[in-house]
Amino acid sequence: MSRTRRFVATCAVIAATAFAVTACGSEEQVSTEAAPVTSAAAPSANAYSDSDGGSGSGGFGQAPDVVTPAGAIPTAEAPPAVAPAPNRDDVNVDARDFEQAGSQYFFQSPSGNVFCGFNSSNAPGTIVGCQVRYSVPGNTGRECANTANNTYGVRINQDGTVDQICTNQGIFVGDPNSGDVRVLRYGQVIGVTGSFCRSEEAGITCYDGDRGFMISRDVNIAF
């Protein structure tokens, strides 16, 4: 009977030991399988933690938008200052060299972009104006297409008013049958019956008293 009890006790100890070993092995297996789950979750958590565009540490948010500084945005240049109106003493060309039939006088800018004319057939009043191959919208807001049949022009009327216009024909280009229109060189001033035009690199400026205009490729102002 004593042997039987010792045998049962021994078996119980062996069984308990085997159970403990099995349990330990099972716990290690769970721990090993759980580790990858914990590791895989870490990048997922960081992937959206930097939603402000990448300002946080170690984030994967979107890159911030590129913002152009206000000072880098191109702006229109201010028009050049208009020189005071010339007088007869400033005239340095003979208007008769520019005359065509009908008491009309025509010239063009050295660049070949601006064509101008005086019409004094109804003297003492004179209409003076220019038209261009290409220019910019006038300071009165008129916009033209800069095409052959819709180009910028400006004129001083007999009553002294100034109109910025769009023209579909050659108003101030002269008569092609009279030969090439002469060039008014930079620095030259022409005068016809009290109206004057000055040629400068900035543009052609024409005056009737204190009223007038300046026009070129980059300038189109009436004053």
Rounded CA-CA distance 158/119 in Å is: 10
109 lies in the same domain as 200: yes
**What pLDDT, on a 0 to 100 scale, did the predictor assign at position 154?**
96
172 lies in the same domain as 204: yes
Model confidence, pTM: 0.63
Task: Give the pairing of strands 220-222 and 203-208.
Answer: unpaired
**What pLDDT, on a 0 to 100 scale, did the predictor assign at position 23?**
41
- What is the tally of structural domains in the chain? 2
Averaged over successive runs of 10 residues, the pLDDT of the chain (223 residues) comes to 46 42 40 38 33 32 31 49 91 96 92 93 76 95 92 93 94 84 97 95 96 97 96
52 lies in the same domain as 12: yes
**What pLDDT, on a 0 to 100 scale, did the predictor assign at position 98?**
96
Residue 77 is assigned to a structural domain of this protein: no
132: burial class by Cβ within 10 Å (0-12, 13-18, 19+)? buried
Among 41, 69, 97, the domain-final residue is 69
199 lies in the same domain as 94: yes
Q: Which of 91, 89, 135, 86 is nearest to 109 (CA)?
A: 135
Residue 53 is assigned to a structural domain of this protein: yes
Torsion angle of C-alpha atoms 68, 69, 74, 80, degrees rounded to 10:
180
116 lies in the same domain as 177: yes
b (16+ CB within 10 A) / e for 59-98: bebeeeeeeeeeeeeeeeeebbebeebbeeeebebeeeeb
113 lies in the same domain as 209: yes
Q: Which of 191, 189, 170 is nearest to 181 (CA)?
A: 170
Residue 80 is assigned to a structural domain of this protein: no
94 lies in the same domain as 179: yes
111 lies in the same domain as 185: yes
Type of residue numbered 7: F
State the residue range of the domain holding 97.
Answer: 88-222
122 lies in the same domain as 179: yes
**What pLDDT, on a 0 to 100 scale, did the predictor assign at position 39?**
36
Residue 81 is assigned to a structural domain of this protein: no
Q: Which of 109, 68, 125 is nearest to 216 (CA)?
A: 109
Q: How many residues does the chain have?
A: 223
**What pLDDT, on a 0 to 100 scale, did the predictor assign at position 198?**
98
